Structure 1
């Protein structure tokens, strides 16, 4: 899966073959059929890994913190950390959704809406003047600002870029950035 994510992130889904993935993984391309029935099934698995990780982490954050402001800090930090720890996988997730089969796109959109709703609920609790419709826009904008790191390479250290992204997401949500790293 790591080899597939790296290749697809660099060359795009359409620019990678099963033979390419197999060679990068140290097996013949046809050996992939023991695990997946198609290249599309690999893409589906990559997407599921991303959204399932994000949803599970978000649900744990909501359950672990009675304070929605701390929950938002944890959600922001978790998303930033995931983007840096799994950069290739996140690039595939952000760029290749159109190549998923339609039924998987619909299933993915449901999971994405659930993930965003966890952020929205926390934001609306912290900022009751914000309507759910506006919260949805703000949350998607904050997540997009975090994803912007996938489109460039910085000369700054990763921790510095992560701090800037956390601050940017807080500003998009009109929250005071935390003075210390989030738990």
Structure 2
């Protein structure tokens, strides 16, 4: 057979090139970026990492997005846009289970990148945050209509947001479990939260929590740590400068290095302090429990109390852990695993039908409830708020 003419070959070349370039490349980029931002945090992530995740060069990536912020802003929108679109397909007046099924399906589909919304969205501009919040408000309003229709109570969307927190928790951990079973667990947990009773802990389950007191800073090193946590919580670790920390404790920036090798070491110390306070609280709460049900309630009450009392410290530990170097992160990850193991053991004793992975999914669902319910209550620490959120967590766990 005669070879094709040069003109024929040149005419065919664009088609061959197009065949190697996916039409959904922008979507692939956003998906890869969401995973990188969720795993590494906004500031630690790089465009080169994102490009490598898609199998393209950084130069090719910049043809789609002019800079990292533009890519990040689109990532922050993806899950909320998907959730709103999914709910638009659910008929008005549909059962709550159908509404939450749509939410669960999209959230699980975006599991790898969904963490961007929970912690990293604070790095968005004020205008972009406002726009994203308006979308989420529309989503929450649609879910709340179904919640109030089936379980009417005037709780200012507390149960609705807690239920969404249970579902959204799947974006914050890596427990491997079959997708169908995962969706069933999250849906059932969210439905229990939405149907939970009036504010207050379940009858006979109120627990007095004896949390350890946060150490009083008696050394310059402790003063630096205490001053850094509110700054990290408000502005994000990457945005806080050594100068700001030094000013807060009346030092020069160079003087900080006599107490900490670098800013990262201050963050690691804050995360270790958070882990130690929680571990001590858990140990105290389990000393006099008489059975697995009481143990689960005690764990829930302790975690809620810890989250309300040490809100800034906890938010720093949760949001900034991914950005720590491996050597700093390893002991913190081990502490987290030990904490989860305690919950898992007691929950499986209370619910023997659960396997370890199912129990871990539900434990994280309980943590998700605390995050979203606490935010709704603006972390105002009152006995009533603690009891209400504890009851929601216990409902999420199905105990």
Q: CA deviation at 1:165?
A: 1.2
Task: Give distance in 1, aligned partners of 2:122 and 2:159.
Answer: 24
Alignment TM-score, normalising by the size of structure 1: 0.82
> Which residue, out of 96, 101, 113, partners 2:125?
101
Match of 2:298 in 1: none
Q: Are residues 1:77 and 2:77 paired?
A: no
> Which residue, out of 151, 170, 182, partners 2:191?
170
Which structure has the larger Rg over C-alpha atoms? 2
Unaligned runs of 5+ in 1: 176-183
Q: CA deviation at 1:150?
A: 2.5
Task: Give distance in 1, aligned partners of 2:176 and 2:66.
Answer: 41
3-state SS of paired residue (1:13): coil
C-alpha contact 1:154 1:161 (8 A) present in aligned 2: no
Q: CA deviation at 1:135?
A: 4.7
Task: Give distance in 2, aligned partners of 1:150 and 1:22.
Answer: 22
C-alpha contact 1:124 1:135 (8 A) present in aligned 2: no
Q: Are residues 1:42 and 2:92 paired?
A: no
C-alpha contact 1:120 1:135 (8 A) present in aligned 2: no
3-state SS of paired residue (1:16): coil
Q: What is the aligned residue count? A: 167
C-alpha contact 1:91 1:150 (8 A) present in aligned 2: yes
Cα distance change of structure 1 residues 151 and 115 upon mapping to structure 2, 3 Å threshold: same
Cα distance change of structure 1 residues 84 and 32 upon mapping to structure 2, 3 Å threshold: same
Match of 1:123 in 2: 147
Task: Give distance in 2, aligned partners of 1:154 and 1:32.
Answer: 31
Match of 2:42 in 1: 13
Larger deviation: 28-37 or 113-122?
A: 28-37
Which is bigger in relative contact order (C-alpha 8 A, separation at least 6)?
1
Alignment TM-score, normalising by the size of structure 2: 0.39
C-alpha contact 1:40 1:101 (8 A) present in aligned 2: no
Cα distance change of structure 1 residues 100 and 75 upon mapping to structure 2, 3 Å threshold: same
Unaligned runs of 5+ in 2: 1-29, 197-399
